[in-house]
Homo-oligomer: A and B are copies of this chain.
Amino acid sequence: MPSTLELLEEHRLYGGWQQRYRHLSSSLNCSMTFSIFLPGPKDGTPPPVVWCLAGLTCTDENFSVKSGAQRVAAELGLVLVMPDTSPRGEGVANDEGYDLGQGAGFYLNATEAPWSANFKMYDYINSELPALVAGNFSVSDRQAIMGHSMGGHGALTIALRNPGRFSSASAFAPIVNPLEVPWGQKAFRAYLGDDVESWKEYDSCWLMRNSANQLPVLIDQGDSDQFLADQLRPERLEEIAREVDFPLTVRVQPGYDHSYFFISSFVEDHLRFHAKYLLV
């Protein structure tokens, strides 16, 4: 049975509409909230979709309120979908750390208790939410995906695992090698268990080296990002891209940190990058 969308909020924005919906998620077994930006009508052609995946501690609102992406999306005629970052609610497992449990779904399907009851963010973002959006809004089937930090990890892994699905992917300060950094190791051990083999399909470095899927990818990384050396390490993905001849561009932005101020400074570049492939 298709999930029913409950409209929670609606605001006129840049000639389009910013909306927020609640729905019951069958993948996550809980009530979920997402935001969507619908640009004003152009020529009647259904607009393409850009998925915007947020980072640790975020909800659908961070990207909605802080990124400024809608201005450019309105100009280019792009729909933006801004999902939450994990299942939510009193009945959903949680952890005291900000980097595990609610707000920290890591865009994977958990296999270990207690997480496996709800934490199926890979299925939610990859299957359930796209079907819901396609069924309820006038959108084309052309899609791109982008994200920030943990959401950058989500955008890159989902794009790499689904050949032909996205015309391009991009990320701000993504976690590119969760297998080898503390955030990833803590979360993957909890969600996926001790067998590191099962972690690999959620690691952008491993996927880029081991899949034949190629698509244009843009990464921006601030060099004053407090998580750069310990958690992000984009040079590892760059090295693999060189080895396998993958169309990856990594830009280092001097002085920029991990905040949404960094995202808002470069989100226009990202949307224009995606538009180049979406609007052909």
Contacts and interface: CB of A to CB of B under 8 A. Distances in A.
Contact of A257 (B11, B256, B262): B11
A116 interface: no
A259 B11 CA distance: 8
Interface stretch (A13-21, A122-130, A131-139, A207-215): A13-21
A224 B10 CA distance: 11
Contacts of A71: 68, 264
Given A18-B261, A71-B264, A264-B71, A12 B255 contact: yes
Number of copies: 2
B65 A265 contact: no
Nearest to A265: B14
A37 to B, nearest CB: 10
A272 interface: no
A272 to B, nearest CB: 14
Contacts of A257: 11-12
A265 B222 contact: no
A260 interface: yes
A186 interface: no
Contacts of A65: 65-66, 260
Interface of A: 11-15, 18, 65-66, 68, 70-71, 222, 224, 253-257, 259-262, 264-265
8 contacts: A11-B259, A11-B261, A12-B257, A14-B264, A15-B265, A18-B261, A65-B66, A66-B66
